[in-house]
Amino acid sequence: MAGHHQLNFKVLRNTLFALLSLTILTVLVAKPVSGFDAGMFNFVIAMGIASLKAGLVLAYFMQLKDDNKLYLGLMISCVFFLLLFFGLSFIDIISRAPVDSTL
Amino acid sequence: MSSAADTSKNYLNHEKGLWSWLTTVDHKRIGIMYMITVLLFFAIGGAFAMLIRLELFAPGGTFEAQVYNQFMTFHGAIMVFMVIIPGIPAFLGNFVLPLHLGAKDVAFPKVNLMSWYCLIVGAIISFISLFYHGADTGWTFYTPYSIQTDNGTILLVLGAFVMGFSSILTGVNFVATTHRLRCKGMGFFQMPLFVWGLYSTAILQVIATPVLGITLLLLAAEKIMGIGFFDPKLGGDPVLFQHFFWFYSHPAVYIMILPAMGIISELITAFSRKVIFGYKAIAFSSVGIAAVSFFVWGHHMFVSGQSELAGVIFSFLTMLVGVPTAIKTFNWVATMYKGSIQFQSPMLYALGFLFLFTIGGVTGIMLATMAMDVHFHDTYFVVAHFHYVMVGGTLMAIMGGIYYWFPKMFGKMYSELGAQLSFVLIFVGFNVTFFPQFILGAKGMPRRYHDYPEAFSFLNSVSSIGSWTIGLGFIVALIVIIHGLLKGAKAPDNPWGAKTLEWQTTSPPPHENFYTDPVVTGGPYEYR
Amino acid sequence: MSTANVDRSGGGHAHHFESAEHEFDTSKFGTWLFLCTEVLMFGGLFVAYFIFSNLFPETFLEGSKYLDWKFGAVNTAVLLFSSFTMVLAIYYAQQNNNKKCANMLMITFVCGLIFMVIKYMEYTHKIEMGLLPGDMFAFQGAESSNLGLYFSVYYMMTGLHGSHVIVGMGLILWCWFRARKNEFNSGYFTPVECVGLFWHLVDLIWIYLFPLLYLID
C-alpha cells in the first residue's frame, strides 16, 4: 500500500546489524585483506554481497518492500538500461583489435 | 459550461507585472515564458543558419574557416539544446498537459519554474563562450578534437550540462503529473495521444539525460584536469566518448520527435472530425519508440572505429525503429480516410509533417544500412536526412501546435490567410533548401566544411535561396502571431470543434484551468 | 517539492492535489524518478569503470593497492549507520516526536561529516604521494604506465559521490531546522521521507564503490 507505511523499530535495527555483518563478511573474503581466494568467483562474491546489501537498503530503509511496486519497476528498468549501455559498448570494445594490458 | 462563472479573470490577468511572471508557478504562464525564450533562441539559431548558407552560397565564401566552424557549432547547439528539446515538452507540453489531463497544474509547479531558470542559466553560460573565442567542435563535442581545441568549448559544454537539468526536471514533472494528476474518470487509455507522446518523452528525459550529464562532466574534467578517460595518450578511448554521447543523444532525437508525433495525432483527428484510427497502436508505438531508441545509438558510429560486429548489431537494431514509426504513419493516414477534412493552417502543418517526415524516416532507414552509411556518412545526405526529420518533423509540429493552441493561449484568433501563406513559404522553402542536399551528399560533398569545389556550386546556390524562403516564411509566421496578439478577433472557447478537455474551458483558461473539476466519461476523440 | 505557504498542521495540502495523502504520494514518486536520474548518472561512471577494468586489469589491481581498505570499511560502516538514523528520523516523525526526529537528523548529519573528514584524509594522503588523476599523475615507481587512469576513475567516482554527500548533508540540515520548529507530524513528514530516500541512494552507491575500488583482487 502506498503512502504512510508505519515503520517498525526492530526491523530497522535488525537491518542495520545485517548490513554491518555483510560489510565485515565482504572485507573478510577479500583477497587483499585475508588472502582468501575463490579464483574467478572473487568478483562474483564481492558483487553478490554488495547487491544483497543494496537489496536490504532498498527493501527496508527505503521501504520498497511495502511501497508501490511502481518504484521497484523504476529501479529495475534503470538497471536494465545501464546493463544495456554497458553491454552494447562492451561488445564494441572487446571485438576491436585487442589491447595489451597497459598500453 | 463557464457561463455562470466570472470569465473576465483568466491566467493572463490573474496577476500583473513582470515580477509576477518571473516568479509564477502557473504551468500556463511558464509555458508562455518558454514560448518567448524558445522563439528567441530559434531566431538566433536561425540567424546562424542563414550565415552558414551565405558562406556556402558560392565556392570561395565570405567568412574565414574558423568563423564558419563557430557558426555551425552554435547553429547546432542552439537548435538542439535550446529550441527543439525544450520546444515541445517544455513549451507546448507545459501549457497543454495539465489541461489535457483535467488537472489544475503540473505535479511540482516550483520545479517547473526551476527548469525554466536552468534553461536560461545554461543558455547564458553557452553564449558567454562566444566572448572566449567561441566553440568550433560542432554540437557533438567529439573527442579528441574537443580536448585539444583551446577556446570557449568548455563553457558551451557546461552550458549544455546545466540545460540538461532543465530537461530532466521537466521529465520528472511530466511523468509524475501523468501518473498522479489525471482527472476523475481518465484512465491511461482515455488520455489524449499528445499526453502519450509527452509521457514517453518524459521517460526518455529521465533515463537518458543523466548520461549526457556525466558525459559532459567527464569532458569538462578531461579539459580541466586531463583525466584521460577519452584520451588515448593516457590509456583512454576517444570512441568511448561517442558511446557515452550517443547513448543520450540518440534517445534525444526521440525526445524531439515523439511529442511532435503526439501533436500530429491531435491535429489530424481534430481536423478530420473523426475518431483516431488505432488509438492503442499509436499510444503503444510511442512507448515502443522510446524503448527501442536506447538500442540503436551505434548507428552514429559506423565509421568511427567501432568494431564491425557492433556495427552489424546496431545496424540490425536500428531497423526496428521503422516499425513503430510506420505504425503511426499508417494510422494517421487511416484516420484521414473518409474524414471531413478541413484545411486550416494547423492541419496544413500536420500534412506537411506527414510528407516531410516520411522522406526523413525512409532516408533514415537507408542510413541505418551499414554498407550505405559508409558511403553517406558525414556527407550532406546525413544533413538533409536529419533536417527532414527535425525541421520537417518537429518544427512543422511546433508550428502546427502554435496555431492550433494559439486561440486557447491568448483568447484571440490569428489571420488564417497569413498563417497559410507562412506554411506555403516554409514548406516550399524547406524542400528547395534540403532536397538538393540529398543529391549533394550522394555525390560525395562532405558536411561541416566551409568551402567546396566548383562542381557543387549550382545545387548549393539553390539550397541557399531556399533558406531565404524559409526565413521569409518564419518572418511571416511571426508577424501573423504578433498581429493576432494585438488585433486578433476574440476567440471562441472551442474554435476547432475539438473534443479534448482543454477546449471545454474558456479561452484563455482561468488561473486554475477549469471552473468545475472535469469528469471524463469516454475516450478523448468521440467525434460521432 | 510542493507549493509553499500551505498550513500542514491540520492535513492541509497544495491546491492542485486532492488530499495531503495524494500530495505525499506524488512527492515520493517525484523523488523516486529523481533517484532514477542519479542511478543513471553514476551508472555512466560504473560503465567506464567496468570497461577500463576489463581492458587494464593489472592497472586496476595495482591502483587498488594504494588505497587503504580500512578507511573504506570505516566509511561504509559510518554511512550504513547514518542510513539507519535517517530512517529513524522518519520513524519518530511518524510518532509526532519532533525532538527525537531532530536528534536523529543531527546524528545523520554528523555521520556525513565524519565520512567527509575521512575522505579528506584519504585525498590529502594520495595527493601528497602524487597519486593524481590522468595527466597530473606524479607518483614515481608505478608499474603500470597508465596508473593515472585508475586514479581518474577513483577521483571521479568518489568525488561525484562526495559532492552528493555534501548536498545530502545540506538537505538534512534543512530538515533538522524544520523539525526543531515542530513542523512535522504523522500526517506530514514529506521532506524527511524524500531527503531520506536521497540519502539512502548515496549510501547505496557507496556500497558498490567500496568493493570495486578498495577490494580488487
pLDDT tens digits for C128-179?
998 988 888 888 888 888 899 999 999 999 999 999 999 999 999 999 999 9
Residue C184 pairs in a beta bridge with none
Report the C-alpha gap between B413 and B494 in whole angstroms: 11
B103, B54 Cβ separation under 8 angstroms: no
Give dist(CA C181, CA C194) in Å, integer.
19
Q: Where are the alpha helices (DSSP H) in A1-103?
A: 9-28, 31-34, 41-56, 69-94
Q: How crowded is the C-beta side of C215, counted as CA atoms within 13 Å?
A: 33
Angle between helices C20-55 and B193-225 (to 10 degrees): 40
Identify all chain B residues contacting C198, using CB atoms and an 8 Å cutoff: none
CATH of the domain spanning B24-504, picked from 3.40.50.2300, 1.10.645.10, 1.20.210.10, 3.40.30.110: 1.20.210.10
Give Cα B89 distance to the centre of its chain. 8
Q: Is residue C185 in a domain?
A: yes
In a domain, C9, yes or no: no
pLDDT at position A99 is: 55
- In terms of residue numbers, what domain contains C159? 20-214
Residues A29-59 pLDDT 10s = 887 777 777 777 888 999 999 999 999 999 9
- Domain extents in chain B: 24-504
- Amino acid of residue B138: G
Asked if residue B431 has pLDDT above 70, the reply is yes
d(CA C68, CA C70): 5
Identify the closest residue of chain A to C56 by CA–CA distance: A101
Flag whether C12 is in a domain.
no
pLDDT in tens, B356-390: 999 999 999 999 999 999 999 999 999 999 999 99
In-domain check, residue C187: yes
Residue type for position B154: I
Is residue A16 classed as helix, strand or coil in its secondary structure?
helix
Please compute, for residue B471, the number of CA atoms within 13 A of its CA located in the half-sphere on the CB side.
17
Using the beta-carbon criterion (under 8 Å), do C30 and B172 form an inter-chain contact?
A: yes
* Cβ burial, residue B130 (10 Å; 0-12/13-18/19+): middle
Do B201 and B123 contact (CB within 8 A), yes or no? no
CA dist B275 and B109 (Å) reads 33
Q: Compute the nearest-CA separation of A63 from chain B (Å).
A: 19
pLDDT digit string, tens, across residues B56-102: 999 987 899 989 999 999 999 999 999 999 999 999 999 999 999 99
Task: Please name the member of A70, A77, A95 whose beta carbon is closest to the beta carbon of B309.
Answer: A95
Q: Structural domain tally of chain C?
A: 1
* 8 Å CB contact of A74 and C36: yes
Q: Are A18 and A57 in contact (CB under 8 A)?
A: no
Closest CA to A3 of C164, B167, C188, C161: C188
The answer to whether position C13 is within a domain reads: no
pLDDT (0 to 100) of residue A1: 34
Q: Within a 13 Å sphere around the CA of C29, how many CA atoms are in the beta-carbon half?
A: 25
ipTM over 0.90: yes
| pLDDT greater than 60 at residue B5 | no
Which of 20-79 (C) contact A at CB < 8 A? Answer: 21, 24-25, 28-29, 32-33, 35-36, 39-40, 43-44, 46-47, 50-51, 54-59, 64-65, 69, 73, 76-77
Q: Given this model, what pLDDT does residue B149 score?
A: 85
Output b/e per residue, C173-185; b: 16+ Cβ within 10 A. Answer: bebbebbeeebbb
Neighbors of chain A by Cβ distance (3+ pairs < 8 Å): B, C
Q: A42 to chain C: which residues are within 8 Å by CB?
A: 217
Instruction: Find residues 177-196 of chain C whose CB sits inside 8 Å of chain A.
Output: 186-187, 196
- Identify the closest residue of chain B to A91 by CA–CA distance: B310
Cell of C185: 507530524
Burial (CB < 10 A; 0-12, 13-18, 19+), residue B456, is: buried
Report CA dihedral (B215, B217, B223, B224) to the nearest 10 degrees.
Answer: -160
